[in-house]
Amino acid sequence: MKKIIKTIEILLIFFCFSFTFSGISFAQNRSTKAIDGNPDILVSPVQGPSVGNLLIARTKTSWPWYLTRTSGLIAAVSLFILIFSGIGLVTGYTFRFLEPLTAWATHRALGIIFAISLLIHGTSLLFDKYVPFSISQVLFPFLSNYKVVSIWGHRIGSLYVALGIIAGYLLLALVLSTYFWIDKKPKNWKMVHFLAYLIVIFVFIHGLYVGTDLSHGTLRTLWIIMGGLIGISIIYRFTKVRNI
C-alpha cells in the first residue's frame, strides 16, 4: 500500500510539473501563431494560470478533504478486519491459519492502525475549509451542523457525525481498559471489550450517511455487504461462544 501511494504521489508531482513548465513555455511564445503554416488560422494564448498551477493550488486547499476521506476509509477497513480477527480469536478459527502469538499480535496491530487513522480522520476535519469543523464540534456530539437530522420535528444536530465521535470515545475506553486492565482486571476488560461491536455499528452508520465515497455506487454497495457480513459474524459469534 505504501509503494502504491508513493507511486501515485510521484506521478501527480510529475503531472503537475509537466503542465507548469508547458504553461511557462507556452506563455513565452508569440502572442499569435500560425497553424500548419496557414496565416489565416491564428491561435491566441489564454491568459491565466496553467493547469499545473491550478492543480497545485487545488491540492493545497483540498488536502484536508482528501486526508479525511483516506483516513476514514482506512479506519473503516481496519475496523472490519479487526472485528473479523477478534471473532476468529474467540471462536478459534484464526488459529487454524496463524500461530496464537502471531494472531494476537496481528489483532493488536489492527487496533493500533484503526486508532491512529481515526485520530487523523478527526484532526484533519479542523483544517477543512469547505465543510468547517470547530474543535468543539469534533470533540462533542450533536454540535455539528453537517447533515442535521430531525426526529419528530426536533433538530438534534448531526446524528451521523455524532455516532462517529461517540465511536471515538468508546475506542478510547477500550484502549485504556486494555492498557490498565487486561492483566489486572481481566473480567472488567472483557466486559469493556464488548464495546467493539457497538463501535463497528456506529462506524457503519456514520460511513453510510456521511462518507463521501460511500454515498452511491459500487463502494456503497460493498459497504452495505460488509456491514451485513459483520452482522452475521457477530450473531454467529454469540451463538457459538457466549463469553468473550
Quote the cell numbers at residue 182. Answer: 487486561
Residues 39 and 67 occupy one common structural domain: no
Asked if the structure places residue 205 within a domain, the reply is: yes
For the segment 31-44, what is each residue's pLDDT rounded down to a tens digit? Answer: 444 444 545 554 45
Quote the cell numbers at residue 179. Answer: 492498557
Residues 4 and 87 occupy one common structural domain: no
Helices 159-181 & 186-193 angle (0-180, nearest 10): 160
CB atoms within 10 A of CB 244: 17
Residues 168 and 93 occupy one common structural domain: yes
Number of domains forming the structure of the chain: 2
For the segment 78-134, what is each residue's pLDDT rounded down to a tens digit? Answer: 999 999 998 988 888 888 888 888 988 999 899 999 999 999 999 999 988 877 889
Whole-model pTM above 0.85? no
Closest CA to 143 of 120, 164, 159, 122: 159
